[in-house]
Amino acid sequence: MAFFNFGEMTVEEKQTFITHLEELRRAILISVIAIVIGAGISFYYNEAILSIIVAPLSALQQSLIVTGVTEAFFVKIRLALYAGFVLAFPIMVWALWRFVKPALYPHERRYVYILLPVTVLLFVSGVLFAYFGILPLVLNFFIYIAGENLDTLFKVDQYVAFVTAFTIPFGLVFELPVVVFFLTKIGVIKPDWMSRNRKYALLVIVVIAAALTPGPDPISQLMMAIPVYLLYEVSIWVCKWAARGRTRQSETGGDDSQKTT
Q: Is the pLDDT of residue 106 over 90?
A: no
Q: Which of 200, 205, 213 shows the shortest CA–CA distance to 170?
A: 213
Q: What is the per-residue burial (b if ≥16 Cβ within 10 Å, else e) of 110-130?
A: ebbeebbeebbebbeebbebb
Q: Is the pTM here over 0.85, yes or no?
A: no
- The pLDDT tens digits for 215-248 are 666 777 787 788 888 888 888 888 888 787 666 5
**Across the strands, what pairs with 64?**
154
Report whether pLDDT(256) > 70: no
How far is the first Cα of the chain from the last one, in angstroms, to the nearest whole number? 36
Q: Are 26 and 101 in contact (CB under 8 A)?
A: no
Beta bridge partners of 65: 155
pLDDT at 248: 57
pLDDT of residue 16: 64
Neighbouring-strand partners of residue 154: 64
Is the pLDDT at 121 greater than 80? The verdict is: yes
Query: What pLDDT is recorded for position 83?
Result: 92
Provide the CB-side half-sphere exposure for 3 (13 A, CA): 2
Query: Is 36 buried (19+), middle (13-18) or exposed (0-12) by CB count in 10 A?
Result: middle
Q: Which residue type, as a one-letter code, is found at position 123?
A: F
| Spatial separation of the C-alpha atoms in residues 28 and 58, rounded to whole Å | 38
Q: DSSP code of 1?
A: -
Contact criterion met (CB below 8 Å) for 246 and 187: yes
220 or 129, which is more confident: 129
pLDDT per position as a tens digit, 40-57: 999 999 899 999 999 988
**Nearest one of 134, 129, 212, 223 to 169, comparing CA atoms:** 212
Position 186, amino acid: I
pLDDT digits (tens, 9 = 90+) for 55-95: 988 888 888 888 888 888 999 999 999 999 999 999 998 88
Distances (CA, A) of 129 to 52, 82, 231, 235: 15, 17, 13, 18
Looking at every residue in the chain, the average pLDDT score rounds to 81
* CA angle (251 as vertex; 245, 255 as ends), nearest 5: 70
What does the pLDDT average to over 178-201?
A: 83
